[in-house]
Structure 1
Amino acid sequence: MLTKFSIKNNILTLSILVVLILGGISVFEDMPRDDMPAFLIRYMSVVTTYPGASPERIENLISDKIEKVAQEVPEVDYITSESRTGISIVSISLKESITKLQPVFDRLRRKIEGIQSELPDGASVTIDDEVGDVFGIIVGLTAEGYSDAEIKEIAEEVRDELIKLPEAAKVEISGYQNEKIYVEFNDAKFAEIGLTKAKLSDYISRTNIIIPGGEIKIGDQRIILEPTGNFEGISDIEDIIISSMNGRVLLLKDVATIRRGYEEPRKRLVRINGVPGVSIAVNLKKEGNIINLGRQVDQKIEELKQIYPYGVEFERISSQDLIVEKSVNDFLGNLLQAVVVVLAVMLVFLGLRTGVIVASLIPSAIVLTLLLMSVAGTGLNQVTLASLIIALGMLVDNAIVMSESIMVKMETGKSGYDAAIESAKELSLPLLTSSITTSAAFMAFFLAESVMGEIMGNIFIVVSFALMGSWFLTLTVITLFCARGLRIKSKEPSKTGIFDRLAVKYRRALFACLKWPTLTVGVIFLLFIGSLFLIRSVPFIFMPKSDKAIVTVNFELPIGTAIERTLASVEQIERFIAGNLMLDNGNEGVVTWSSYIGEGAPKYDLGYNPPESSPNAAHILINTSSDPANDRVIQALDRFIFNTFPDAQFRVSRLISGGGSVNPIEVRLSGRDLDTLYRISEMVKEKLRQISGTKNVTDNWGMKSKKLIIQIQPDKARLAGVSNQDIALSLQTILSGSQTGSFRTGDKTLPIILRNEAADTLSVEDLETINIYAQQSGKSVSLKQVADIQVVWQPTKIIRRDQSRTITIESDLMPGFTAGQVTGVLLPWLSDQSVKWGPGYSFELGGDAEGSADAMGAVAKKLPVSLFIIVLVLIGQFNSIRKPLIIMLSIPLGLIGVILGVFITGSYMGFMAFLGIISLAGIVINNAIVLLDRIDIEENEFEKPAALAIIDAGTQRFRPILLTTATTSLGLIPLWIGGGLMWEPMAISIIFGLLFATVLTLVFVPVLYRILFRVSYKDFSL
Structure 2
Amino acid sequence: MKLVNLSVKRPVGVIMVVAAILALGFVSLKNLTLDLYPKIDLPLAVVSTSYEGAAPQEVEKLVSRPVESSVSTIENLKVLQSQSQAGSSLVLLQFNNGVDLDSTLLQVRENIDQIGGVLPEGAGDPKVLRFDPQQLPIMTIGLSGDTPEKLQQIAENRLVPYFERQEGVASVTVEGGKKREVQVQINQAKMAEYGLNSQTVVQTLNASNQSASAGAINKGQKDLQIRIDGDYSSVEDIKNTILQSESGARVTLDQIAKVKETYRTSNTISEVDGSPAVVLSFLKKNDANTVQTANNISDAMDEYKELPKGVSMNTVLDTSEFIKISINTVFWNIIIGGIFSVLVLLLFLKSVRATIVIGLSIPIAIISTFTLMYFTGETLNVLTMGGLALGIGMMVDSSIVILENIVIYREQGYSMVESAKLGASELAPAVIASATTTLVVFLPIIFTNGIASQLFTPLALTISFALIASLAVSVTLIPMLSSKLLTKALKNNGRRYWFDRFMDKVNDAYRSALRWVLKFRKTTIAITLACIAGSVALIPTIGTEFIPPSDQGQIQVSVNMPEGTAIEKTQEYTNRVTKKIEDFKDIIKVTHLTVGGGGFGVGDGSSDFASYTIQLVNPGDRDVSTQEAVEKMDKDLRDIPGADIQVSEMDAGLSSGSPIEIKLNGSDYEVLDELAGQVSYMIKDVDGISNPSSSTDEGRPEMNIDVNREKAAQYGLSYQQVISQVQLAFNGQIATRYRNGGNEIDVRLILPKDQRQTISDLEGMSVQTPTGSLIPLATIADLDQVQGPQTLLREDQQPQVNVDAEVVGRDLGSVTDDVEAELDRLNFPDGYSYDIGGQAEDMQDAFGDLTLALIFSIFLVYAVMAIQFENFLFPFIIMFSLPATIIGITGGLFVTGLPFSLPAFVGIIMLAGIVVNNAIVLVDYINILRRKNYDRYEAILEAGPNRLRPILMTTLTTVLGMVPLAIGIGRGAEAQQPLAITIIFGLTVSSIFTLVLIPVVYTYFDDLSNKITSFFRRGVDE
For 2:1019, the equivalent position in structure 1 comes to none
CA distance in 1, matches of 2:861, 2:1010: 31
Picking from 806, 810, 816, the partner of 1:823 is: 816
Per the alignment, residue 1017 of structure 2 pairs with: none
Pairwise CA distance, 1:218: 9.3
Where in structure 2 are the equivalents of 1:311-710 lying within 5 Å? 311-352=310-351, 353-488=353-488, 492-493=492-493, 496-578=500-582, 580-583=583-586, 589-599=587-597, 613-626=605-618, 628-648=624-644, 650-657=645-652, 659-710=654-705
The answer as to whether partners of 1:531 and 1:895 remain within 8 angstroms in 2 is: yes
CA deviations 1:254-292 (Å, max 9, x no partner) are: 22111122222x122322222222222333345544333
1:136 Cα offset (Å): 4.9
Mapped to 1, the partners of 2:240 and 2:343 lie a distance apart of: 89
**Cα distance, 1:4 vs structure 2:** 0.5
Q: Distance in 1 between matches of 2:776 and 2:472?
A: 90
Closer/same/farther in 2, CA of residues 140 and 436 from structure 1, 3 Å limit: same
SS in 2 for 1:34: coil
Which of 867, 871, 880 is equivalent to 2:871?
Answer: 880
Give CA-to-partner distance per residue, 1:289-340, whole Å, 9 cap, x none.
4333333322321222x43233211111111221111111111111111111
1:783 paired with 2:750, answer no
Q: Distance in 1 between the 2:602 and 2:522 partners?
A: 61
Listed one character per residue, the Cα deviations across residues 15-70 of structure 1 (whole Å, up to 9, x for unaligned) are 22233233333443443222222222533322223344443333233222222333
The match for 1:897 among 883, 888, 891 is: 888
- Given the alignment of the two structures, is residue 996 of structure 1 paired with residue 989 of structure 2, yes or no? yes
Find the residue that maps to 1:703 and give its secondary structure: coil
Question: 2:589 is matched by which residue type in structure 1?
Answer: V
Q: Is the 8 A contact 2:56 2:789 kept in 1?
A: yes
Contact 1:548-1:626 within 8 A present in 2 as well = no
1:198 and 1:162, CA in 2 relative to 1: closer, same or farther beyond 3 A?
Answer: closer
Match of 1:606?
Answer: none
Classify 1:885/1:736 alpha carbon distance in 2 versus 1 (closer, same or farther; 3 Å): same
Measured after TM superposition, the shift of residue 997 of structure 1 is 1.1
Secondary structure at 2:744 match in 1: strand
1:718-797 equivalent positions in 2, closer than 5 A: 718-758=713-753, 761-775=756-770, 777-797=771-791
Task: Determine if contact 1:197/1:773 at 8 Å carries over to the other structure.
Answer: no
Which residue is 1:964 aligned to? 954
Say if 2:802 is the partner of 1:808: yes
What TM-score results when the alignment is normalised by the length of structure 1? 0.92
The equivalent of 1:851 in structure 2 is: 842
Q: Distance in 2 between matches of 1:40 and 1:1002?
A: 44
Relative to the length of structure 2, the TM-score reads 0.92
- Find the residue that maps to 2:783 and give its secondary structure: strand
Q: Distance in 1 between matches of 2:128 and 2:556?
A: 25
- Residue 832 (str. 1) matches residue 825 (str. 2): yes
Q: 1:246 to 1:111 in 2, by over 3 A?
A: closer
After superposition, what is the alpha-carbon deviation per residue over 1:719-741, rounded to whole angstroms, capped at 9, x for unaligned? 21222222112111211111222
- Conserved in 1, the CA contact under 8 Å of 2:561 and 2:642? no
Using the alignment, how far apart are the partners of 2:447 and 2:551 within structure 1? 28
- Structure 2 CA distance, aligned partners of 1:214 and 1:709? 53
Deviates more, 1:853-862 or 1:567-576: 567-576
Extract unaligned runs of 5+ from structure 2.
Answer: 1012-1022
Task: State which drifts further: 369-378 or 798-807.
Answer: 369-378
> Which residue type is aligned with residue 263 of structure 2?
Y
Matched residue type, 2:302: E
Residue identity in the other structure for 1:624: L
Aligned 8 A contact 1:445 1:460 in 2: yes
Aligned 8 A contact 1:208 1:230 in 2: yes
Change (3 A) 1:819 1:2: same
Q: Say whether 1:284 aligns with 2:279.
A: no
Spell out the pairing of 1:269-308 with structure 2 (5 A cutoff).
Answer: 269-304=269-304, 306-308=305-307
Q: CA deviation at 1:475?
A: 0.6
**1:612, distance to aligned residue in structure 2 (A):** 7.9
Q: CA deviation at 1:877?
A: 1.1
| Counterpart residue identity of residue 298, structure 2 | D
Name the aligned partner's letter for residue 617 of structure 2. S
Q: CA deviation at 1:183?
A: 0.6
Q: 1:938 to 1:114 in 2, by over 3 A?
A: farther
- Residue equivalent to 1:933: 924
Q: Match of 1:205? A: 206
Q: Distance in 2 between matches of 1:803 and 1:149?
A: 46
Question: Any residues of structure 2 matched to 1:1001-1012 within 5 Å, and which?
Answer: 1001-1012=994-1005
1:77 aligns with 2:83: no
The aligned amino acid for 2:85 is: R
Unaligned regions of 5+ residues in structure 1, if any? Answer: 584-588, 603-608
Q: Kindly tell me: are residues 986 and 893 of structure 1, through their superposed partners in 2, closer, same or farther at Cα, counting changes over 3 Å?
A: same
Which residue matches 1:586? none
Contact 1:430 1:929 in 2 (8 A): no
Give the Cα separation in 1 of the matches to 2:910 and 2:526.
26
C-alpha distance in 2 between matches for 1:854 and 1:213: 66
Q: CA deviation at 1:169?
A: 3.7
User: What are the superposed Cα offsets for residues 132-165 of structure 1, whole Å, 9 maximum, x if unpaired?
Assistant: 3745543433343345145323454122222333
Alpha-carbon separation, structure 2, partners of 1:104 and 1:640: 50
Deviation at 1:83, TM superposition (A): 1.8
How far has the Cα of 1:359 moved from its partner?
1.9
**1:870 partner amino acid:** V
Q: Given residue 9 of structure 1, which amino acid in structure 2 is its aligned partner? A: R
The offset of 1:1013, in angstroms, is 2.7
**In structure 2, what residue type is equivalent to 1:893?**
A
Maintained 8 Å contact 2:213/2:227: yes
Give the secondary structure class of the aligned counterpart of 2:684: helix
Which secondary structure does the structure 2 equivalent of 1:145 belong to? coil
Shift of 1:537: 2.0
Aligned 8 A contact 2:86 2:604 in 1: no
Change (3 A) 1:702 1:226: farther
Whichever residue aligns with residue 631 of structure 1, its letter is Q
Distance across 2 between alignment mates of 1:289 and 1:139 = 17
1:406·1:419 contact (CA, 8 Å) conserved in 2? yes
Map residues 2-13 of structure 1 onto 2, 5 A cutoff: 2-13=3-14
**Paired residue type of 1:350:** L
Identity across aligned pairs (percent)? Answer: 27
- The alpha carbon displacement at 1:590 in A equals 1.3
Q: Distance in 2 between matches of 1:150 and 1:422?
A: 76
Q: CA 1:168/1:54 → structure 2, altered by over 3 Å: closer, same or farther?
A: closer
